[in-house]
Amino acid sequence: MEKPYLIYGEYIKTIIIMERICIYPKDIQLITGKSQRYGRLVIQKIKEKYAKEKKQLVTVEEFCTYSGLKYDYVLNSING
């Protein structure tokens, strides 16, 4: 996602904002208002549902599908 050009003197810079792909227990805590332990439990359940290994990460999209929350809402919540 690119932001509009910013002009500093003679130079024009583009700011690129990276969107997060993975979600972590702390993110789930901030979104749901529940404990970080609850976030770890949700991550564990998502990994079981999608047959992921212990070291594999959970994506924001998988979390949204599991929780029923809208993708845009979750991205805005974790990206600030």
Mean pLDDT score, 14-42? 89
Q: Can you tell me whether residue 69 is helix, strand or coil?
A: coil
Render pLDDT for 52-79 as a digit per residue (tens, 0 to 9).
999 999 999 999 999 999 999 999 888 8
Q: How far from 68 is each of 15, 51, 57, 63, 64, CA to CA, in Å?
A: 32, 19, 19, 8, 5
pTM, 2 dp = 0.76
Higher pLDDT pick, 17 / 12: 17
Query: pLDDT tens digit string along 1-13?
Result: 555 555 555 555 5
Task: State yes or no: pLDDT of 41 exceeds 70.
Answer: yes
